[in-house]
Amino acid sequence: MELSLTEAQTSFRDDVIAFLNESLPEDIKETQKSGGHLTKEQHQRWHKILGDKGWSTPLWPEEHGGTGWSPVEYAIWDEECYRTGAPRVLPFSVSMLGPVLINFGNDEQRDRFLPGIRSGEDWWAQGFSEPGAGSDLASLKTTAVLEGDHYIVNGQKTWTTLGQHGDWIFCLVRTDANAAKPQTGISFILVDMKSPGVEVRPIITLDGSHEVNEVWFTDVKVPAENLVGQENMGWTYAKFLLQNERIGIAGIGQSKEQLVSLKRLAASEQKNGKPLVEDQSFRAKLSEVEIELRALDLTNKRMLVETERGMDPGPVSSMLKIRGSEVAQRLFELKMEASGLYALPFQPEAGDPGWNDELVGSLAQARSAPHYLNTRKISIFGGSNEIQRSIISKMMLGF
């Protein structure tokens, strides 16, 4: 199977590189390259730039604003974004809600919500997980009761990523408490986060950041017209959405860039008077993760070629999710090891007791421990690795 780029794909890569070099704002690039957190304004500014170019929703059908890119072209775009320092467009609106509205929403909902998703003007959050319903999502307890032309929503969602910025949230809610199966009593509904009764409470994670939240609903009135598709069919839409969530979840482009950064760091740090990269033990670890990443990259390219030919990738997407998350976690482990004491979550500033120039490492080193802690989650979200292994066993072994 030919895995090298065609002439047309190489030309496409050149166009992507030229656009990114010309259009990516320097402050956004610097924030990304240093491992910092983008502000809401930075996210939306970059999203608008992509929207003006027509590249903010690349995987949508062309009639709804998609680019018509092939899977290989999308992979090229994804990889070049990471290499250049361009942030990925947040998936909640573009990769999750948008395809659901296109496939299951009505014309009024598409006309109302898709333009704001393409432009990035509307910030969407995802309301799926609950304290007692994570991997077992069908156990969710948030309710929506129809009263006249409104639903009354009560309950709690958790781990709502960047929900503190949200304008809207798409939620799975229970609309039939007496359904024969839990999955058949769930609906998919859109909630304005400015509605009375919506409360967002921050969750400060182990790395010290405010990335996720709890969202509480207390007698929130939601117009019935905000129900997507049919009542009690939300589980079907959720499964469709989760398939889109897993697109690119292997994070190969990000891992390639992290490998480059790790090698640079290992070449600059010293151990016993020599660069760390020359230490036999560290070199073995570095070589092992690079081999794993190359195998992952080749497997991903094989799947992309097969997908373009109309073949079903089968369990490969689950395999990529497992190995991709493990490789990413391993890279951040090694980056923290290479950073040594500079990886300490606390970094003193000028004037602090004990300050000296030698004590303070680079921003990238100082952020390696928080990043290590944050990446522990990637083997859980989008379907935990345990669930992915169950999927593989069912598809390949029949049980």
Q: Tell me yes or no: is domain 124-234 CATH 2.40.110.10.
A: yes
Average pLDDT over residues 212-237: 97
Per-residue model confidence as pLDDT tens digits over 99-136: 999 999 999 999 999 999 999 999 999 999 999 888 78
Average pLDDT over residues 39-49: 96
pLDDT greater than 50 at residue 373: yes
Q: How confident is the model at residue 399 (pLDDT cuts 50, 70, 90)?
A: low
Look up residue 158 and give its two tokens.
């958790």
Look up residue 185 and give its two tokens.
């009593």
CB 37 within 8 A of CB 209: yes
What is the pLDDT, as a whole number, of residue 69?
Answer: 93
Look up residue 319 and give its two tokens.
């395999």
Q: Which of 286, 364, 300 is nearest to 331 (CA)?
A: 286
Domain with CATH 2.40.110.10 in the chain: 124-234
Whole-number average pLDDT of the chain: 89
From residue 285, alpha-carbon distances to 9, 171, 266, 278 in Å are 34, 43, 12, 12
What is the pLDDT, as a whole number, of residue 76?
Answer: 92
Average pLDDT over residues 46-71: 95
Domain with CATH 1.20.140.10 in the chain: 248-397
Q: Tell me yes or no: is domain 248-397 CATH 3.30.930.10.
A: no
Per-residue model confidence as pLDDT tens digits over 239-268: 888 766 555 667 888 899 999 989 999 998
pLDDT greater than 60 at residue 280: yes
Output 62 or 241, whichever has higher pLDDT. 62
What is the pLDDT, as a whole number, of residue 345?
Answer: 60
Per-residue model confidence as pLDDT tens digits over 141-189: 999 999 999 999 999 999 999 999 999 999 999 999 999 999 999 999 9
Q: How confident is the model at residue 26 (pLDDT cuts 50, 70, 90)?
A: very high
Average pLDDT over residues 89-93: 92
Per-residue model confidence as pLDDT tens digits over 174-185: 999 999 999 999
CB 330 within 8 A of CB 394: no
Per-residue model confidence as pLDDT tens digits over 291-349: 999 999 988 888 877 777 777 767 787 888 899 999 999 999 999 999 887 786 655 45
Q: How confident is the model at residue 355 (pLDDT cuts 50, 70, 90)?
A: very low
CB 157 within 8 A of CB 201: no
Average pLDDT over residues 88-95: 92
- Predicted TM-score (pTM) of the model is 0.85
Average pLDDT over residues 224-229: 98
pLDDT greater than 50 at residue 357: no
DSSP structure string for 140-185: ---EEEEETTEEEEEEEE---TTGGG-SEEEEEEES-TT-SSGGGG
Strands (E), the chain: 124-127, 143-147, 150-157, 168-174, 186-192, 198-204, 210-223, 227-228, 270-271, 274-275
As annotated, the active-site residues are 245
pLDDT greater than 70 at residue 351: no
Look up residue 246 and give its two tokens.
């897993």
Q: Which of 254, 263, 253 is nearest to 285 (CA)?
A: 263
3-state SS class at 235:
helix
- Report the share of the chain in percent with pLDDT over 90: 64
What is the pLDDT, as a whole number, of residue 244?
Answer: 60
pLDDT greater than 60 at residue 358: no
pLDDT greater than 90 at residue 93: yes
- 43-47, 59-63, 231-235, 346-350: which has the minimum mean pLDDT? 346-350
What is the pLDDT, as a whole number, of residue 359?
Answer: 44
